Amino acid sequence: MTRVSHAYFNNNKRDPVCALDVDTEYHKYKDKTDRFGCMFCGVKVQFTRGKEHNDPHFKNWPLIRHKSSCDIPNIERQKENYDNDGEIELLVSTILPRAKRLEKTKKAINVNRSNKAKIYGGRRSKKFIYNIVNLLCKQNLYQLKPEYEDLELLIEDGSRIKLKELLGTQDEIIKRINESEEKRVTCILRGNTRKAQMVKNNIKIPLTIGNNPSYKNTQNFSLFIRWDYVDKNKEFIESIENSLILCYGEALTNEFGTEMEIFSVRHQVVVLKKYKNIL
Ligand SMILES: [Zn+2]
């Protein structure tokens, strides 16, 4: 069943509320929990804090279905086309965050960052990315198997993205960043990591670059762990060096180059292959 990160509150269609914020400021909502509506069709949805109270989201209100025109059941219906229901079900019920909305909130930057850390560095990211790994072809450079290329996922703003447009190498993702309005994209990066470097108190893990344009890795790209998340992650850094990895997050270009911020190595990065020789 689809879990959604945002919902309308009190029928306010301009400014959907984020489940993470409802959780933080629960006192404001606790007597009005029947006033959340689906962002796509408006039917009543239910706020829940999730298992162990660390995964706030909105889900179906008991016995109330989404309208037949709603994007949620339409996207979910794709699972009927595939045999391996479990994986596809989780993927089609994942609604991808859109950076722009998170940027637009009027909160201080550190709150936004902590929300982003929860979205990308949370347990659901890990499930999402491990499911993607199962759709890759190991014999063919870990590319997406052709039958999954056109599987569509829903984005919070109601737009859709095909799996093949979500996954990419560094050159492909840089191209998408340049073409995007916000100069940042939510994506799954596939690339080869080098040894980590300390840059002031931050950790930077550059990807290898090559000269052959057909490998689509000719431009600089790094994974970046900002100083405030270094302590939580430092024991896992070695495990992702010199490896072919898949990494889920938000990529952007700034004055230091193009990078993807990692809040949690364990939840955002999967190692597909570890190299013995240093790259
Ligand atoms: Zn709906």
CATH number, domain containing residue 165: 2.40.50.140
Distance from residue 81's CA to the centre of ligand 1 (Å): 21
Are 112 and 120 spatial neighbours (Cβ–Cβ below 8 Å)?
no
pLDDT at residue 109 is higher than 70? no
Distance from residue 4's CA to the centre of ligand 1 (Å): 10
Entry field: residues in the chain? 279
3-state SS, residue 212: coil
Distance from residue 153's CA to the centre of ligand 1 (Å): 15
Both 138 and 158 in one domain: the answer is yes
pLDDT classification of 85: cutoffs 50, 70, 90: low
Answer yes or no: is 1 within a domain: no
pLDDT classification of 272: cutoffs 50, 70, 90: very high
- In percent, the amount of the chain with pLDDT more than 90 equals 61
pLDDT classification of 260: cutoffs 50, 70, 90: very high
Mean pLDDT, to the nearest integer, of 52-75? 91
pLDDT at residue 152 is higher than 60? yes
Q: What's the predicted TM-score (pTM) here?
A: 0.85
Both 247 and 211 in one domain: the answer is yes
Both 19 and 119 in one domain: the answer is no
Answer yes or no: is 224 within a domain: yes
Looking at residue 200, what is its pLDDT?
Answer: 94
pLDDT at residue 69 is higher than 80? yes
Q: Number of structural domains, the chain?
A: 2
Answer yes or no: is 279 within a domain: no
Which range, of 10-19, 59-68, 101-110, 181-190, averages the lowest pLDDT? 101-110
Distance from residue 74's CA to the centre of ligand 1 (Å): 10
Q: What is the DSSP string of 127-176?
A: HHHHHHHTTEETTTTTEEPGGGTT-EEEETTS-EEEHHHHEE-HHHHHHH
Both 157 and 180 in one domain: the answer is yes
Both 86 and 113 in one domain: the answer is yes
Are 183 and 267 spatial neighbours (Cβ–Cβ below 8 Å)?
no
Looking at residue 94, what is its pLDDT?
Answer: 81
Mean pLDDT, to the nearest integer, of 98-118? 56
pLDDT at residue 42 is higher than 60? yes
pLDDT at residue 151 is higher than 80? yes
Distance from residue 42's CA to the centre of ligand 1 (Å): 6
End position of a domain, from candidates 69, 96, 118: 69
Answer yes or no: is 255 within a domain: yes
End position of a domain, from candidates 19, 35, 69: 69
pLDDT classification of 111: cutoffs 50, 70, 90: very low
Crossing angle of helices 123-133 and 85-92, in 10° steps, is: 130
End position of a domain, from candidates 23, 40, 69: 69
pLDDT at residue 218 is higher than 60? yes
More confident: 262 or 115: 262
User: Is 110 exposed, middle or buried, given 0-12, 13-18 or 19+ CB atoms closer than 10 A?
Assistant: exposed
* Separation CA 73–CA 89 (nearest Å): 11
Distance from residue 120's CA to the centre of ligand 1 (Å): 24
- What rounded mean pLDDT belongs to the chain? 88
Both 50 and 155 in one domain: the answer is no
Owning domain of residue 48: 6-69
Both 44 and 108 in one domain: the answer is no
Answer yes or no: is 56 within a domain: yes
Distance from residue 98's CA to the centre of ligand 1 (Å): 18
Which range, of 113-122, 236-245, 250-259, averages the lowest pLDDT? 113-122
Distance from residue 231's CA to the centre of ligand 1 (Å): 40
pLDDT at residue 178 is higher than 90? yes
Distance from residue 176's CA to the centre of ligand 1 (Å): 29
Which range, of 10-14, 144-148, 180-184, averages the lowest pLDDT? 180-184
pLDDT at residue 250 is higher than 60? yes
Distance from residue 183's CA to the centre of ligand 1 (Å): 29
pLDDT at residue 101 is higher than 70? no
Q: How far is CA 22 from the centre of its chain?
A: 20
Distance from residue 60's CA to the centre of ligand 1 (Å): 9
Looking at residue 108, what is its pLDDT?
Answer: 32
Distance from residue 38's CA to the centre of ligand 1 (Å): 5
Mean pLDDT, to the nearest integer, of 139-145? 90
